[in-house]
Structure 1
Amino acid sequence: MSTATTLAAPARPTSRRCSPVALWRAVRRLVREAASGSRTPTVPRSPAVPADFGEPGIDALYAHRRLDLVRLALLLVDDLPTAEDVVQDVFAALYRRYGARLAGLDNPDAYLRTSVVNTSRSVLRRRRTVRAHVPERAGHAPSAEEPVLLREEHGEVIAALHRLTRRQREVLVLRYWSHLSEAQIADTLGLSRGAVKSTASRALVALRRELEAPR
């Protein structure tokens, strides 16, 4: 399949692995560990790159990374159609800059993660500007794949994440959903490792407070 065809008509997800259950479980576990006084919460290991990833190229990268990136964007923007648009725009920009063979791009995964975070930030800035002048529209109609990507029982954690500061939310999502190290998060967000560590600590406390607050 050509790159143009792939980007214009992406494959629809069919796997139940699309649910953000890993983040939901990780956050719940971290909240319990924080409550018990544990200072060394466990962090899930990053999944291995598929053995059949093949030669580097935008088609293979799109096929193997699109869903992970949509999930990442979804947790940042809290809107599946927008998350899909974010990822589509990121891959389109990647293709325009590096071509189908990604010539000159040393670390495509890092580039894509950073692009998704930055594009999500831009979306949220535009959303705040629009909402300051236009009444918020009614909730979007769920797409066919939304029940797969975001299950109702995880809504509490997702809502709590979006009550954190933008930096706190980004750090938690990148660490406990994308399984990045402190150094990788620092590179992605343009922070020092110390800032990542302190932000993660404060974010977990704030998240526990949000989840335990009566509604």
Structure 2
Amino acid sequence: MADSPGDLRRMSADAAIASLYAAHWSGLVRLAWLLVRDQGVAEDIVADALIALHRRWDHLADRDLALAYLRRSVVNAARSVLRHRTVERTYVAQHGRAITEATAPSAEHEALDEVGNAGMLAALDRLPRRQREVLVLRYYLDLSEAQIAHALEIAPGSVKAHASRGLTALRAQLGADPDRTTREDR
């Protein structure tokens, strides 16, 4: 589909976006959800990223990097949502009103809670933003260090450092044996 080199170069904006949507919508929504924990907001983030890509399609230097551009857009939009939430919470805390969530937990959130991943999600939430982003991109989307570096606009060495620090912090939070390593950690 849209993953093979050369396919996107020859497509019109409409055809390319339709192809990217069909192949990557659910994965991009899950990426956004893992960062913002709200299904509706995650879907809005991905829709906005696809619309922005459509608008810029004729001006892209390398159309084969469209998926990487979408991932970067999703991560950046999730950051904006999280910054906005922080501002809202600060405002509410200063003015003495309680925050109420407008949406119920997503089905994905409830399913993860059901199978016992609530501790992992809570531990991920406590990580610094960059470590959380690197770990989600690495272990959820199975991106390479180079792809993560491109999506987050950081050096590949920084990806390694954030991943290492994030995994160490997760192990400490979850009480894992620090001497036990998995194949993925090496």
Task: Please say whether Structure 1 and Structure 2 have the same fold, judged by a TM-score greater than 0.5.
Answer: yes
Question: What do residues 72-130 of structure 1 show as CA deviations (whole Å, max 9, x unaligned)?
Answer: 0011111211111111111111122227xx89623111011111011111111111111
Q: Which runs of 4+ in 1 moved over 4 A?
A: 53-56, 147-150
Q: Is the 8 A contact 1:70 1:84 kept in 2?
A: yes
1:106 maps to 64
Equivalent residue runs for 1:14-29 within 5 Å: none
2:153 maps to 190
Q: Structure 2 counterpart of 1:92, which letter?
A: I
**What is the TM-score normalised by the length of structure 2?**
0.76
Q: Structure 1 counterpart of 2:32, which letter?
A: A
Deviation at 1:140, TM superposition (A): 2.3
Question: Which structure is richer in relative contact order (CA contacts within 8 A, separation 6 or more)?
Answer: 1
Q: Structure 2 counterpart of 1:131, which letter?
A: R
Match of 1:151 among 102, 107, 112: 112
* CA separation of 1:98 and 1:149: change in aligned 2, threshold 3 A: farther
* CA separation of 1:173 and 1:149: change in aligned 2, threshold 3 A: farther
Tell me the percent identity: 50
Question: What do residues 19-46 of structure 1 show as CA deviations (whole Å, max 9, x unaligned)?
Answer: xxxxxxxxxxxxxxxxxxxxxxxxxxxx
Q: For structure 1, which runs of at least 5 residues remain unmatched after alignment?
A: 1-48
RMSD over aligned Cα atoms? 2.7
1:132 pairs with 2:93: no
Match of 1:73 among 26, 32, 37: 32
Give the distance between the partners of 2:127 and 2:108, measured in 1 at CA: 24
Q: For structure 2, which runs of at least 5 residues remain unmatched after alignment?
A: 93-97, 177-186
**What is the TM-score normalised by the length of structure 1?**
0.66
Q: Is the 8 A contact 2:123 2:170 kept in 1?
A: yes
Give the distance between the partners of 2:62 and 2:159, measured in 1 at CA: 29
Q: Is the 8 A contact 1:71 1:149 kept in 2?
A: no
**SS of aligned partner of 1:66:** helix
1:141 maps to 104
Q: Is the 8 A contact 1:98 1:104 kept in 2?
A: no
